[in-house]
Structure 1
Amino acid sequence: MIAHLFSTSAGRGRRFSILAAGCLMLAIPGAFAQEVAAPAAGVPANGDEIQQFCTNIADAARDQRYVLQKQNLEELQAKVDERIATLEKRRTEYQDWLKRRDDFLKEAELGLTDIYKNMKPDAAAGQLELINPAVAAAIVMRLPPRLSSLILSEMTSEKAAVLANIISSASNPNTSKEPS
């Protein structure tokens, strides 16, 4: 039968078109097995579908964005709280250190004042000329006035004038009480 199909020229044209159609069907598997689904009635066109999809998920996307922002804010708040706690701890440590330092300085000044109170005026004057003028002025101010005047009289006039200026500016009511 196959030989008969190929023997006539008219049969050859039909056979070729049937054969070509079969090859085409084999080349595209399932192409003719399914029907192409026609767009359903009422389904919007492609651009409208996208717009409708975006509109439908806008609330959910906004809610998710708010949740992420809330999580970020909570993380930042936790970090800020942690830093505040660290700063409070350090502030407490600093205040404790400052109190101990101030107590020590008061004791040292009282002890130092007692030391200079028991010294001879000429020896005290020689030592006070060598230390910081502000410290020397503080010591001289704590001493009894008679002893202070004897010590200042034993000092060089330049050093005594510097100490007198510091003492007078400390007692000046126009001097600012707040350090600047």
Structure 2
Amino acid sequence: MTARLTIIRSRRFAAIIGLALVAGSGFAAPASSEEKAADEPQAVNDQVHSATSAEASPEQKAYESEIEAYCANIADAARDQRYLRQKNELDNLKSKVDERIALLEQRRDEYQKWLGKRDDFMRVAEATLVDIYKNMRPDAAASQLSLINPGVAAAIVMKLNARLSSQILNEMEPEKAAALAGIIANAAATEQPKDPS
């Protein structure tokens, strides 16, 4: 089969070379330069086409049909291999995504534990802080609460009993006491007013 293919290829190559030499040697009758330029490519093209079509022997046709049959036979196997490779790539990507998800879940659990510890600490600190202000004299508590963040001061005043809270607010400067009372009132409101803008 390979010897036949070699012979066919060498014949075709020889025909093309021969035609190129004939076209380029100038054996034809002299013509004007414009006619030469226009006719040469067309003549060479026609000669090559006729030579190749004449060479299409039954052996060549059989060989080409064998090539087509081979390509048709391996098309399904090639498609299966391509699908298998794509499936393997998808499985690999899925495993990487699963690893990342597991890592993110582990970090989320760590953050939730840390947040739980922080919340426990804040509850203890808040209870201790409220106890400290509960045991202070109202005038001392008022001066201390005037110096800290108004939101924190309002939260502390809300945790104290009503009698002690009123005494502390009474000892504060009127502007600061009014600001704390406003924060407490807003926190106690069940419905927040809508923004008019």
TM-score surpassing 0.5? yes
Question: How far did 1:41 drift?
Answer: 5.9
Task: Note if 1:70 corresponds to 2:87.
Answer: yes
Gaps of 5+ in 1: 1-35
Q: Which residue of 1 aligns with 2:49?
A: none
Is 1:171 aligned to residue 171 of structure 2? no
Q: What residue in structure 1 maps to residue 179 of structure 2?
A: 162
Instruction: Give the stretch that moved more between structures: 43-52 or 57-66.
Output: 43-52
**Matched residues, number:** 141
Given the alignment, which residue of 64, 81, 94 partners 2:111? 94
Match of 1:81 among 93, 98, 101: 98
**Superposition deviation, residue 45 in structure 1:** 5.4
RMSD: 2.4
Give, in angstroms, the shift of residue 52 of structure 1. Answer: 3.2
Q: Distance in 2 between matches of 1:83 and 1:47?
A: 52
Which moves more between the two structures, 152-161 or 134-143?
A: 152-161
- Return the structure number with greater helix share: 2
Equivalent-residue separation in structure 2 for 1:165 and 1:130 (angstroms): 17
Given the superposition, is the C-alpha separation of residues 118 and 60 from structure 1 closer, same or farther in structure 2, using an over 3 Å criterion?
same
Which structure's CA Rg is the greater one? 1
Counterpart Cα distance in 1 of 2:58 and 2:114: 83
Unaligned runs of 5+ residues in structure 2 are 9-56
- 1:61 equivalenced with 2:78 (yes/no): yes
Partner of 1:104: 121
Match of 1:140 in 2: 157
TM-score where L is the length of structure 1 = 0.70
Give the Cα separation in 1 of the matches to 2:74 and 2:174. Answer: 90
Q: Partners of 2:76 and 2:117 in 1: how far apart?
A: 61
Aligned mates of 1:51, 1:156 — CA distance in 2: 99
Give the SS at the match of 1:44. helix
Q: 1:116 aligns with which of 106, 130, 133?
A: 133
Q: CA deviation at 1:129?
A: 1.2
> 1:51 and 1:133 mapped to 2: Cα distance?
86
